[in-house]
């Protein structure tokens, strides 16, 4: 009986957290349909990367870089590549990793049956850790979705978005961006 209890407790400790939803791990960037990545995003193709910075940092970066003065910062930001004008819109998206913690559930279950107590550890039955992402959609007057597979502009736009992402992640004082341009 002791051996069974030891094995049972070991199994509970090893597998005490069951993931319900795992946030994606994106090394560099990902090109995907917006709706497929996160409900609420547009159906267009989006350029997605992880955002390790604080909330609204990307907003501040875009506002400073493009000198928008807090006017239409997250929608229809114009940029030019080889004489062609494009626009991008961005979305700050959170996808949490959610797990069920079994040990607090078991402890509350045992206590409620033996001592007729209310659950003490109810707030730790589940845990959430948020992962933040930036999703950018690109369009122009001639193309509704410049990032979709087979788009004429895709090969022009992707290097620009990669450079924009790298500059954002490497810049700490966004006023430096104004002097780089």
pLDDT in tens, 159-168: 999 999 999 9
In a domain, residue 1? The reply is no
Say what the pTM is. 0.77
Q: Look at residue 169 and tell me if it is in a domain.
A: yes
The answer as to whether 157 is a domain residue is yes
Residue 20, in any domain of the structure? yes
pLDDT at 88: 97
17-74, pLDDT tens digit by residue?
A: 777 777 888 999 999 999 999 999 999 999 999 999 988 999 999 999 999 999 989 8
Q: Is 8 inside a domain boundary?
A: no
Please tell me the chain's helix, strand, coil percentages from 3-state DSSP, rounded to the nearest 5: 35, 30, 35
Residue 4 located in a structural domain? no
d(CA 14, CA 3): 16
Q: Is residue 86 scored above 80 in pLDDT?
A: yes
């Amino acid at each position: 009986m002791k051996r069974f209890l030891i094995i049972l407790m070991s199994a509970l400790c090893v597998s005490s957290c069951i993931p319900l939803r795992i946030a994606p791990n994106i090394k560099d960037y990902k090109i995907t349909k917006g709706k497929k990545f996160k409900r609420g995003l547009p159906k267009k193709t989006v350029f997605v990367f992880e955002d390790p910075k604080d909330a609204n940092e990307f907003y501040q970066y875009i506002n400073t870089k493009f000198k928008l003065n807090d006017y239409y910062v997250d929608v229809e930001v114009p940029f030019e590549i080889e004489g062609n004008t494009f626009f991008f819109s961005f979305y700050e998206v959170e996808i949490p990793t959610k797990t069920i913690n079994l040990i607090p559930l078991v402890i509350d279950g045992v206590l409620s049956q033996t001592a007729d107590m209310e659950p003490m550890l109810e707030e730790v039955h589940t845990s959430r850790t948020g992962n933040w992402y930036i999703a950018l959609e690109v369009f122009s007057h001639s193309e509704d979705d410049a990032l979709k597979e087979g788009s004429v502009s895709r090969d022009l736009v992707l290097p620009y978005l990669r450079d924009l992402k790298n500059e954002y992640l490497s810049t700490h004082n966004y006023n430096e961006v104004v002097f780089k341009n």
